[in-house]
Amino acid sequence: MRTGHEYDEDMAGDDDGYGEDDDYTFDDDSCDYDEVETTEVNAADDGEEAEQRYVVLNEDAVRARQEGETAKVAEILSIPRGFAAVLLRHFKWSAGQIQEEWFSDDARVRAAIGMPADDGGVPVPTAVSRAEMSCAICFVNYPAGETRSAGCAHYYCGECWRAYIRAAVDDGARCLALRCPDPSCPAAVVQELVDVAADKADRERYARFALRSFVEEGGGGGAGNGRMRWCPGAGCTRAVEFLGGGTGDAHAADVFCACRHGFCWSCGEEAHRPVSCDTVRAWLDKNASYTETSNWMLANTKHCPRCRLPIEKNQGCMHMTCPPPCGHEFCWVCLDPWDNHTGCAGFPVAADGDGNGRQEERTKRQQSRSQAAMDMDRYVYHYERWAANYSSLENVFKDMAQLESAEIERIAAVVGQPAASFAFLSKAYEQIAHGRRVLKWAHAYGYYLDPVRDAAKRGLFEDLLDQANSQLERLHAAAELERRELFCSDAEPAVVRDLLKYYKDKVESYTAATRTFLRNLVTAFETTDLPEFKSLK
């Protein structure tokens, strides 16, 4: 079972996020880890512990990572944290690149980010006026100490700074690259200045943009690494950090957040093991255009008479050539070979003395017209099952939430046993969720198996799918329907206690059997020559 960590609010991450060539690291002695939290059973769940490939971080843990990297750069370069943060964002949070560029030409780096030139002292993120001064925006005179600058020579009053920062924050993440209000001044407006000049709401929004920058621009692992991402689950504020081991394998890229939302690290779509990202994209594109699909397929697609590859007619000529390796040339209208076709010579009416006349051509046209209809029937068949498993998966998550929030406690109270003794129900539901997800995407894949060209492979696919589905339905019925019947509100506690061991053994047995059949289905995708969608393009 793959697992993820959920970190405590006040702990810093144990990984500094720097590259192998960096010569400084974080001190992690003070970091405290929560226990490993099981987030979801995934397609690799075979009852054995799998290699840990990712961890789940809450916002406080992400912020601790961000602050730790910022503090380290500030210490190494002897600059304020605000400038260190600007540097890290400029170099996409690659501390190694900062070190290389800074010690190579720090003047160029200072100019690029709006840091004051080195005059032998520590750069100042904000300065307060020491004498009476006029605000450079509203031109009102203020006594000493009531105007401030971004460490440059341009001073503004508090109200003008608040309005300036508010307008920048309203503009979105670009506020992180804010400069002095004077158009000719490149001085950077950094965190320390925002903290003393902006309203509380604007400070919080600025900090939020800065936190998102850490995950979205650098991922805690340097430019282009993309090692950390926000969970795309609805309402979830956690991030997932990928530790490695499978990024190049489309079948091993599913990760699961503590909120139970799973997504593919490779393509960002919902977790879809065991099918490839190409298949998922093709299927979702088809679903998006479903209202137009039927008429379009009838008018624009036919199967190659030789290899049965679906062909789209996107030009006016009737001379069709199937893509390599087939290369068959045929007539779009009558499907005869192009170098010897007679099907377009006239309407195939039987003639005297001609036996069946041109019955063969008439049959060929009828087959062509029915092929698109059969393709649509096949699509509808798989789509209905894809959608049904999707809906069932949503209900499974609702049942799991209800179980964990109150139902298990209620059941435990009825039979007088600790809630921990009902962990078998949670495991069953986790297996059901995994099964619904696998079957859902297996049906998306099944659509692209041609009934004729891929007959043997489709037979294997459907056999394994039927076995897995029957086991899953049996487990789902036991975990949901039989549970509700056994532990109903008016059930006699003595009767429930007598039946509990039998019910537990039954659910555990069904869970193990379902896991085995689902593993067989997944293995067929990943270790046999079942074709991927890319081979059908």
Q: Indicate which residues carry an active-site annotation.
A: 317
- With H, G, I as helix, E, B as strand and everything else as coil, classify residue 55: strand
Tokens standing for residue 111: 């100019």
Entry field: residues in the chain = 537
Q: What is the rounded CA–CA span in Å between residue 86 and residue 95? A: 12
- With H, G, I as helix, E, B as strand and everything else as coil, classify residue 8: coil
Q: What is the rounded CA–CA span in Å between residue 319 and residue 335? A: 10
The residue written with tokens 């400069």 in the block is 179
CB 55 within 8 A of CB 220: no
Pairing of strands 147-149, 141-142: unpaired
Q: What is the rounded CA–CA span in Å between residue 478 and residue 485? A: 10
Q: What is the rounded CA–CA span in Å between residue 508 and residue 283? A: 35
Q: Which long-range contacts (CB under 8 A, 24 or more apart) does 152-158 make?
A: 152/116, 152/180, 152/182, 152/185, 152/187, 153/185, 154/180, 154/181, 154/182, 154/185, 154/187, 155/129, 156/181, 158/197
